[in-house]
Amino acid sequence: MGIIRALKETVGGSFADQWLEVVEPEDMGDQTVMTRGICTGKGANKKGSRDVISNGSVIHVYEGQFMMLMDGGKIVDYSAEPGYFTVDNSSMPSMFSGNLDEVIRNSFDRFRFGGATPTAQKVYYLNLQEIKGIKFGTRNPINYFDNFYNAELFLRAHGTYSIKITDPIRFYVEAIPKNREKVEIKDINEQYLFEFLDALQSSINQMSADGVRISYVSSKSRELSKYMADTLDEDWRQNRGMEIQSVGIASVSYDEESQKLINMRNQGAMLGDPMVREGYVQGAFARGMESAGKNPGGSTVGFMGMNMASQMGGAMASSMSAANVQQMQMNQAARQAEEEKRAKEEAAARAKDSWTCSCGHENTGKFCSECGQPRPVKETWVCSCGHENTGKFCSECGAPRPAGEWVCSCGHKNTGKFCSECGKSR
């Protein structure tokens, strides 16, 4: 029993008048991994057995589907190519592998003799498209050492991932429960989710070892997919014929202690800026004045208390403000010095590359922007001491220019009248 490719012209209105089945897949959604083929159309043999597919029946295969023809529990033929196929009880398996090629052939040879039911003839369809929207969430916080915070932090991650069936025959044999006619990913995902979360923890730990900041984890979905592929794909491909397609992290949260450490580190980083510190001191003073005015015993009492506190802490506050001002001045001086240095370097670079035309105009390009004359080519030579010169003697060591040797503007060293590299004259 096998299948042969059917011409589209034969699948028309006249075919519907015959007592033959047209087998189509049941509804297949984004999370459907397998469904059974059902008889549809005007010509369906409603009096026949549900588990008998008549010789000459047509099976329709759509894009992104893998069809298996079963007989007595054995996979007797299949197709990963879209189109119409006719059941032929006299033919050998045709095995239209599509782009799955040898992977499917090897699995077919290994698993086609499995099964026990002696008489049932069925058609099953497996979903070769990306199976999306599989939700995950870490049950316990995952430890994450962050070099930036120099601390062991703990995070929880929630999101979705998707898989793709790469070897449908192996997937059918190893992952699909027996005697099921339609399977959604949620029906078989419990074990795989545990394995996924275990691999997720290993992958997140690897991101930590690679120095990725913990705050960047939620934006590293592509990198995380790669980590997951390295951790899990080989095992899933070999044992179940599927692989991770993508991982999307919807949210990352931290446990209470980790959040405190992160907040403390961020606050400390902000207070390292003298302008922020000074603003904090001034703001604290203003808030104190406001609170004094609202004192239940009267504003006079409040201001008296504030005056006493000011006398005790005034020297320290003044010292802090003076230190802040001094650091701001130092930072401003450093920025100004850096800007001046950069400006000098840019001016030196422009001066080094500039030249003055015979018309008196200063230029930096190859032609004078005033009169259009080309930049004059200076005849240069390199002394044995390594210094580049234009005159008859080296301006560095005083050695005379070697006879007959000169360096062209293109950088090539020559001895003749013309440059052997670009052809310019000496």
Instruction: Give the Cα separation of 353 and 131 in Å (integer).
Output: 61
Same domain, 142 and 237: yes
Same domain, 8 and 93: yes
Domain that holds residue 385: 378-426
Same domain, 7 and 120: yes
Same domain, 7 and 96: yes
DSSP H or E run through 155: strand 151-165
Instruction: Give the Cα separation of 176 and 167 in Å (integer).
Output: 13
Same domain, 137 and 253: yes
Query: Is position 285 within any domain?
Result: no
Domain-ending residue, one of 259, 285, 303:
259
Domain-ending residue, one of 244, 259, 274:
259
Predicted TM-score (pTM) of the model is 0.56
Counting the structural domains of the chain, the total is 3
Q: What pLDDT does 324 receive? A: 57
Q: What pLDDT does 165 receive? A: 93
Q: What is the CATH number of the domain that holds 184?
A: 3.30.479.30
CA 95, 96, 101, 107 dihedral sign is negative
Q: What pLDDT does 61 receive? A: 92
Query: Is position 284 within any domain?
Result: no
Q: What pLDDT does 233 receive? A: 81
Same domain, 100 and 8: yes
Same domain, 136 and 254: yes
Instruction: Give the Cα separation of 386 and 292 in Å (integer).
Output: 77
Query: Is position 180 within any domain?
Result: yes
Instruction: Give the Cα separation of 180 and 415 in Å (integer).
Output: 88
Q: What pLDDT does 164 receive? A: 93
Query: Is position 352 within any domain?
Result: no
Q: What pLDDT does 321 receive? A: 63
Domain-ending residue, one of 127, 154, 178:
127
Same domain, 118 and 137: no
Q: Is 9 helix (H, G, I), strand (E, B) or coil?
A: helix
Query: Is position 147 within any domain?
Result: yes
Query: Is position 95 within any domain?
Result: yes
Query: Is position 408 within any domain?
Result: yes
Q: What pLDDT does 117 receive? A: 41
Same domain, 162 and 252: yes
What is the distance, to the nearest Å, from the Cα of residue 147 to the centroid of all Cα atoms in its chain? 22
User: Comparing C-alpha atoms, which of 46, 74, 76, 40 is closest to residue 58?
Assistant: 40
What is the distance, to the nearest Å, from the Cα of residue 312 to the centroid of all Cα atoms in its chain? 57
Same domain, 47 and 102: yes
Instruction: Give the Cα separation of 87 and 305 in Å (integer).
Output: 98
Q: Is 257 helix (H, G, I), strand (E, B) or coil?
A: helix
Query: Is position 178 within any domain?
Result: yes
Per-residue pLDDT of the chain (426 residues; tens, 9 = 90+): 667 777 554 444 444 444 467 889 988 888 999 999 988 754 444 555 566 777 788 899 999 999 998 887 788 888 888 998 888 876 666 666 666 666 666 676 666 544 444 457 889 999 999 999 999 988 888 888 888 878 888 888 888 999 999 999 999 989 998 888 899 999 999 889 998 888 888 888 888 888 888 878 878 777 887 888 777 888 898 888 999 888 888 888 888 887 787 777 666 555 555 554 555 555 555 555 555 545 565 445 444 555 555 554 455 556 656 665 666 667 677 778 888 888 887 777 666 677 788 888 888 778 888 898 888 766 677 788 888 877 778 888 988 877 666 677 777 777 766 787 887 776
Q: Are 239 and 174 in contact (CB under 8 A)?
A: yes
Same domain, 96 and 164: no
Instruction: Give the Cα separation of 277 and 425 in Å (integer).
Output: 67
Instruction: Give the Cα separation of 80 and 107 in Å (integer).
Output: 14
